[in-house]
């Protein structure tokens, strides 16, 4: 047993590294979820005093920071770590030791950020985007803000190195026959994601380094009284921050594009268009950052609105790809498929409300209100989170060699789906009625107490869904029933090898003549050669 733990902690095997990434990120999901429950308890009624303003600010800062930087992104990177070499028929990543290094950097980044809880003045309390001058030392004097900065710089370096590893691996380590145009969609989405990381994360590291210099070495970058400019912080932060949104969703477009074809028993519809749309989204997402700054009065709103609207087009294309894949298929609603459907329905609302707030006149009312809170939770909670659960239910047998229960999985899905929509549905009302985000208390205005109570009840339903999931994982881990190598009738190469895969992944490979070689090998009568 001891040998086993040491082997895991010192491993450079991409499957071990990927699994560590995913498990660590799920841990932070639980932590950030508990923080969200405290937020919902505090806001469940007007004038509550469960936590004070100082604690509340730390709680929402840590909730946002953990969900984004320690859960959604690292889960995506972990899943990609596990899957990319398997999907392209490679024995490991191009740089296995660098890979292990990125995980440990991320591991200590999380500890660094949360260690702020123990220092004088508490953890960072300036929100997940820590606008200067609020985050300057003159206002935020505590060491928690510094630990937050250092942790995020570590996590951005970890992300950059991971992206380098992914791109190198995908470009150079594909098995014979695996041409670029036969890559599974998930791997393609990770190419686009990695390019975005390489372009966006340096900006995050830069702006945080500047903030650190401001705080400790008299930098004056963002101090208006000394010739600096607070708006510069916003530009640099959102130059990272908006691509970050797509770094958190493109991998999950990939997940959905793997799940839907398998449970529709059809090839993905419009493969080429789906790949091109990923790169269109990635490219456009580099030119929309100032739509977070429509109300600053110092950006060209028309330009950034136009580019933001354009992103809706390739995103819409993906929806039609998924619908086309299900069209006239042979659909079976397993748990991963349910989560994929839930993803589409939730993300649809996130996308539509996204087009709304991309219009500056609407943003003038919606920005910094609960309408916006609802919008981005529909993208990241209804979208990414549902895809993460879909991914867990889909690949759990491959990662751990155990099946999760379909019965519990469906309970988990319906509790999460109903709870999620109960919580975030009503926030749209609250937002337009004038409730701003990040307030720890609110007066008893007509309707506010009731709507907030509904949102809080929804969060408890979600928590119940998460408990069902935990129960499911525990019982599956304790069971002695081994999962089949290919329990779903999968398409890509990870389903060719054992569950879990052996060291170096494969003892043999099927011929690779399309993007779904395993399907081709098992159904030669339906196979289509894709020799170009």
Q: What is the DSSP letter of 524?
A: T
Q: Which residues of 315-326 are buried (b: 16+ CB within 10 A; e: fewer)?
A: bebbeebbebbb
| Nearest-angstrom CA–CA distance, 497 and 255 | 19
Residues 246-275 that bind another protein (CB under 8 A): 264-273
> Site mask, another protein, residues 444-473, x = CB under 8 A?
---x--------------------------
The reply on whether position 349 binds another protein by CB under 8 A is: yes
Q: Which is nearer to another protein, 25 or 234 (CB)?
A: 234
Q: Which of residues 52-71 bind another protein (CB under 8 A)?
A: 53-54, 57
Kindly identify the residues of this chain, within the stretch 134-153, that bind another protein according to CB under 8 A: 134, 139
CA distances to 35, 256, 298 from 130, in Å? 18, 32, 20
Task: Select from 95, 131, 279, 400 the one that contacts another protein (CB under 8 A).
Answer: 131
Residue 44 touches another protein, criterion: CB under 8 A: no
Torsion 412-459-388-105 (CA) sign = negative
Q: Binding to another protein (CB under 8 A): which residues in 352-381?
A: 352-353, 355-356, 359-362, 364-365, 367-369
Nearer to another protein, 295 or 477 (CB): 295
CB of 83 to another protein, least distance (A): 22
329 belongs to the binding site for another protein (CB under 8 A): yes
Q: How far is CA 345 from each of CA 23, 37, 128, 256, rounded to the nearest angstrom?
A: 27, 24, 27, 12
Please select the residue that binds another protein; options are 172, 333, 474, 484, rule is CB under 8 A: 333
With the C-alpha atoms ordered 66, 369, 316, 238, is the resulting torsion angle positive or negative?
negative
Which residue in 181, 327, 503, 504 binds another protein (CB under 8 A)? 327
Q: From the list 125, 391, 392, 476, which residue makes contact with another protein (rule: CB under 8 A)?
A: 125
Closer residue to another protein, CB minimum distance, 135 or 156 = 135
Angle at 241 between CA 378 and CA 350, to 5 degrees: 15
Coil, helix or strand at residue 141:
coil
**SS3 per residue for 248-315:** CCHHHHHHHHHHHHHHHCCCCCCHHHHHHHHHHHHHHHCCCHHHHHHHHCCCCHHHHHHHHHHHHHHH
| Stretch binding another protein (CB under 8 A), from 77-85, 195-203, 244-252, 350-358 | 350-358
Nearest residue to 291 (alpha-carbon basis) of 311, 277, 276: 311
Closest CB to another protein among 115 and 266? 266
Q: Which residues contact 306 (CB under 8 A, 6 or more apart)?
A: none
Nearer Cβ to another protein (427/468): 427
Closest to another protein by CB, 25 vs 325, is 325
Least Å distance, CB 196 to another protein, is 22
Closest distance between another protein and the C-beta of residue 252, in Å? Answer: 16
Q: How far is the CB of 234 from another protein (least distance, A)?
A: 8
Between residues 271 and 393, which has the closer beta carbon with respect to another protein? 271
CA distance 230 to 208: 13
d(CA 520, CA 511): 9
Site mask, another protein, residues 222-251, x = CB under 8 A?
Answer: --xx---xxx--------------------
Q: Give the nearest distance from C-beta 308 to another protein in angstroms.
A: 9
Least distance in angstroms from the C-beta of 232 to another protein: 10
Closest CA to 171 of 148, 188, 159, 155: 188
Residues of this chain, 274-293, that bind another protein according to CB under 8 A: none
Residue 332 engages another protein in binding (rule: CB under 8 A): yes
Kindly identify the residues of this chain, within the stretch 294-313, that bind another protein according to CB under 8 A: 295-298, 301-302, 305-306, 309-310, 312-313
Q: Does 499 bind another protein (CB under 8 A)?
A: no
Torsion of CA 368, 371, 377, 383, to 10 degrees: -130
Helix (H) or strand (E) holding 147: helix 143-172
Query: Given the complex with another protein, which of 220 and 498 has the nearer CB atom?
Result: 220
């Amino acid at each position: 047993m001891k040998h086993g733990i040491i082997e895991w902690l010192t491993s450079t095997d991409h499957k071990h590294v990927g699994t560590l990434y995913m498990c660590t990120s799920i841990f932070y999901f639980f932590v950030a979820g508990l923080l969200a429950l405290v937020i919902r308890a505090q806001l469940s009624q007007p004038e509550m005093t469960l936590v004070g303003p100082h604690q509340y600010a730390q709680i929402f800062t840590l909730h946002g920071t953990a969900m984004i930087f320690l859960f959604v992104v690292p889960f995506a990177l972990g899943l990609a770590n596990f899957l990319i070499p398997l999907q392209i028929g490679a024995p490991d990543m191009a740089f296995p030791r660098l890979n292990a290094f990125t995980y440990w950097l991320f591991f200590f980044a999380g500890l660094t950020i949360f260690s702020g809880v123990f220092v004088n003045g508490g953890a960072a309390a300036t929100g997940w985007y820590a606008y200067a001058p609020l985050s300057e030392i003159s206002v935020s004097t505590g060491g928690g803000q510094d630990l937050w900065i250092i942790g995020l710089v570590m996590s951005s370096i970890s992300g950059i190195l991971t992206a380098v590893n992914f791109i190198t691996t995908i470009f150079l380590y594909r098995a014979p026959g695996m041409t670029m145009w036969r890559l599974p969609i998930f791997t393609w989405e990770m190419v686009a994601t990695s390019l975005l990381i390489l372009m966006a994360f340096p900006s995050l590291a830069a702006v945080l380094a500047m903030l650190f210099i401001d705080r400790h070495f008299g930098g004056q970058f963002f101090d208006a009284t000394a010739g600096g400019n607070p708006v510069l912080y916003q530009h640099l932060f959102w130059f990272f921050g908006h691509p970050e949104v797509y770094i958190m969703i493109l991998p999950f477009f990939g997940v959905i594009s793997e799940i839907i074809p398998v449970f529709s028993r059809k090839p993905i519809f419009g493969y080429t268009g789906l790949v091109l749309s990923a790169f269109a989204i990635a490219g456009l997402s580099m030119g929309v950052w100032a739509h977070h700054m429509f109300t600053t009065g110092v950006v060209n709103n028309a330009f950034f609105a136009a580019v933001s609207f354009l992103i809706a087009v390739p995103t819409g294309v993906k929806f039609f790809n998924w619908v086309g894949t299900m069209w006239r298929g042979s659909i079976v609603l397993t748990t991963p498929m349910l989560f994929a459907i839930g993803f589409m329905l939730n993300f649809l609302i996130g996308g539509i409300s996204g087009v709304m707030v991309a219009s500056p006149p609407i943003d003038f009312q919606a920005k910094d209100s609960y309408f916006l809170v609802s919008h981005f939770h529909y993208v990241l909670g209804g979208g990414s989170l549902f895809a993460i659960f879909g991914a867990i239910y889909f690949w759990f047998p491959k990662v751990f060699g155990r099946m999760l229960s379909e019965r519990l999985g469906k309970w988990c899905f319906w509790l999460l789906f109903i709870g999620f929509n109960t919580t975030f549905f009503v926030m749209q009302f609250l937002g337009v009625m004038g409730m701003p985000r990040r307030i720890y208390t609110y007066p008893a205005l007509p309707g506010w107490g009731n709507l907030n109570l509904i949102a809080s009840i929804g969060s408890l339903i979600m928590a119940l869904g998460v408990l069902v999931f935990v129960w499911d994982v525990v019982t599956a881990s304790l069971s002695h029933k081994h999962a089949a190598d290919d329990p779903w009738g999968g398409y890509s190469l990870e389903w060719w090898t054992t569950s879990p895969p052996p060291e170096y992944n494969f003892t043999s490979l099927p011929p690779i003549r399309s993007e779904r070689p395993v399907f081709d090998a098992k159904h030669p009568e339906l196979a289509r050669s894709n020799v170009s």
